[in-house]
């Protein structure tokens, strides 16, 4: 048997990164691929007449580090199932390592039992991703950081706060105060306030346990009189929390109110509520696609493509994600 030369070993050990996208994240994935200096891999994705999803990768994935991106936007269950099927196809195609890149993690608000006989759907989804074959999860601004503990494998939990902070610093006028719309967002608000070097306030609210998406805001804790208030949240869904919060802040003397959030879902009548709300601007990122018909003048959509690309590069090179971002991109 002939000896194996160092050059042969290097060639045999060379790793190959491939990025694929489900139908929910194609624009973001294309932008991420550009930052990585690659092109997105080709996937045949289609639905059968009965609604079942089909996925086939159009090139070999054997031995690759495969990253498959799919955000859980509406229709949520179809997007999740498509992601699971793509992961399964990668596993059966002998991909060496599979990372699920999930900009918005669905069911993240069902992370605990509030009442008896309720599910913990965020944990169920983590189990489904694990069984499908995902070795790693990359996601952005989970509703609760503890959801990372639902996974047995590694989770890179990124945050869009640096992107939001840069925009606010450059574009929002006047004396600022960062406002947490509820107690659950105080940690994020504290971090944003620290980035901006501005004070903090928060709203005390009570959410109805019987009626979904119904919120009652009671009082403002902190000084907002004459200030420009920036409310920070992880998700704007039906916009009930943000709109009621803005109304309370204005009633307490706020001069201007801006809403900032990572995930702009804008379900149901959210856009009509935002149109009529005392909000100067609503700043979100492209973790969830915002269609043209929902892009009213108040809405600004920022890109998180570079953050995702840097995280993918770090994972592929077995480098530290937190060190790459100086611990500013982890929560």
Segment 204-226, tens digit of pLDDT: 866 656 666 565 656 899 999 99
Is 330 domain-assigned? no
Residue 331 lies in a domain: no
The reply to whether 22 and 135 lie within a common domain is yes
Q: How confident is the model at residue 242, as a pLDDT?
A: 94
Q: Judge whether 320 and 147 are in contact, CB under 8 Å.
A: no
Question: Quick check: is 23 in a domain?
Answer: yes
Q: What is the CATH number of the domain that holds 196?
A: 3.40.50.2020
Q: Is 145 in the same domain as 209?
A: no
**Whether residue 16 is found in the same domain as residue 88:** yes
Confidence of residue 322 (pLDDT cuts 50, 70, 90): confident
Q: For residue 112, how many other CB atoms are within 10 A of its CB?
A: 12
What is the number of other CB atoms lying within 10 angstroms of the CB of residue 17? 17
Domain with 82 in it: 6-159+306-324
The pTM assigned to this predicted structure is 0.91
Round to whole Å and give the CA distance between 23 and 234: 23
pLDDT, tens digit (0-9, with 9 covering 90-100), for 252-279:
999 999 999 999 999 999 999 999 999 9
pLDDT in tens, 224-252: 999 999 999 999 999 998 999 999 999 99
The pLDDT tens digits for 26-50 are: 999 999 999 999 999 999 999 999 9
pLDDT of res. 306? 97
Q: Coil, strand or helix: which one is 114? A: coil
Q: Are 113 and 186 part of one and the same domain?
A: no
> Do 18 and 150 fall into the same domain?
yes
User: Which pLDDT score, from 0 to 100, does residue 331 have?
Assistant: 55
- Number of domains the chain contains: 2
Segment (H or E) for 136 = strand 136-140
**Are residue 259 and residue 316 in the same domain, yes or no?**
no
pLDDT of residue 182: 86
Burial 162-197 (b: 16+ CB within 10 A, else e): bbbbebbeeebeeebbbbbbbeebeebbebbbebbe
Same domain membership, residue 200 and residue 146: no
DSSP 187-234: HHHHHHHHHHT--EEEEEEEE-SSSTT-EEEEEEES--TTSEEEEEEE
Question: What is the DSSP-derived secondary structure letter of residue 330?
Answer: B
Least confident of 40-54, 77-91, 275-289, 313-327: 313-327
pLDDT of residue 323: 78
Taking all residues of the chain, what is their mean pLDDT, rounded to a whole number?
A: 92
Phi first, then psi: give them for residue 270, nearest 5 degrees: -60, -45
- Residue 120 in domain: yes
In three-state secondary structure terms, 58 is coil
Residue 152 domain-assigned (yes or no)? yes
pLDDT band (50, 70, 90) for residue 100: very high
Which residues fall within 8 angstroms of residue 307, CB to CB, at 6 or more apart? 140, 158, 160, 162, 163, 325, 329
pLDDT in tens, 132-185: 999 999 999 999 999 999 999 999 999 999 999 999 999 987 789 999 998 888
Q: Are residues 185 and 122 in the same domain?
A: no
- Give the least confident one: 50-64, 75-89, 176-190, 197-211: 197-211
Q: Report if residue 241 sits inside a domain.
A: yes
10 and 155 part of one domain: yes
Q: What is the pLDDT of residue 8?
A: 44
What is the tally of helices (H) and strands (E) in the chain? Answer: 10, 14
pLDDT value, residue 29 = 98
On whether both 235 and 150 belong to a single domain, the answer is no
Is the predicted pLDDT of residue 10 greater than 50, yes or no? Answer: no
| Per-residue confidence (pLDDT) for residue 256, from 0 to 100 | 95
**In this structure, what token pair is assigned to residue 252?**
């307490």
> Do the domain assignments include residue 1?
no
Between the two ends of the chain, the Cα-to-Cα distance in Å is: 53
* Main-chain phi, psi angles of 130, to 5 degrees: -65, -45
Q: Specify whether 151 is located in the same domain as 18.
A: yes
Q: Is the pLDDT of residue 20 over 60?
A: yes
- Which strand (E) or helix (H) includes residue 21? strand 17-21
Active site residues: 205
pLDDT above 90 for 5: no
| Residue 329 CA, distance from chain mean position | 12
The Cα–Cα gap between 101 and 109 comes to 19
Distance of CA 136 to the CA centre of its chain: 16
199 domain residue, yes or no: yes
Percent of the chain with pLDDT over 70: 89
71 and 137 assigned to the same domain: yes
Closest CA relative to residue 108, chosen from 213, 234, 216, 206? 234
Q: What integer pLDDT is reported at residue 11 of this predicted model?
A: 44
């Amino acid at each position: 048997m002939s000896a194996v030369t160092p050059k042969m070993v290097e060639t045999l050990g060379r790793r190959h990164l491939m990025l694929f996208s489900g139908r929910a994240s194609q624009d973001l994935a294309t932008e991420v691929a550009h930052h990585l200096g690659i092109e997105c891999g080709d996937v045949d994705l289609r639905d059968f007449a009965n609604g079942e999803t089909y996925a086939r990768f159009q090139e070999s994935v054997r031995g690759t580090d495969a990253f498959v991106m799919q955000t859980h936007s509406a229709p949520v269950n179809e997007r999740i199932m498509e992601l699971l099927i793509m992961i399964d196809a990668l596993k059966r195609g002998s991909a060496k390592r599979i990372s699920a890149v999930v900009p918005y993690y669905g069911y993240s608000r069902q992370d605990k039992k509030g009442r008896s006989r309720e599910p913990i759907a965020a944990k169920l989804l983590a189990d489904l991703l694990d069984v499908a074959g995902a070795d790693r999860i990359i996601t952005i601004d989970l509703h609760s950081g503890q959801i990372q503990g639902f996974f047995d494998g590694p989770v890179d939990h990124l945050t869009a706060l640096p992107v939001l902070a840069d925009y606010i610093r450059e574009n929002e006028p006047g004396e600022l105060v960062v406002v947490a719309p509820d107690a659950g967002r105080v940690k994020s608000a504290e971090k944003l306030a620290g980035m901006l070097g501005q004070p903090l306030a928060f709203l005390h609210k009570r959410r109805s346990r019987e009626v979904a998406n119904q919120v009652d805001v009671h009082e403002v804790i902190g000084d907002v009189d004459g200030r420009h208030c920036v409310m920070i949240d992880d998700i704007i869904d039906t916009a009930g929390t943000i709109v009621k919060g803005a109304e309370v802040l204005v009633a307490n003397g706020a001069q201007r109110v801006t809403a900032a959030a990572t995930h702009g879902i804008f379900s149901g009548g959210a856009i009509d509520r935002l149109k009529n709300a005392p909000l100067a601007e609503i700043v979100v990122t492209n973790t969830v696609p915002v269609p043209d018909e929902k892009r009213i003048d108040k809405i600004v959509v920022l890109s998180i493509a570079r953050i995702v690309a840097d995280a993918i590069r770090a994972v592929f090179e077995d480098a530290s994600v937190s060190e790459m971002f100086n611990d500013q991109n982890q929560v």
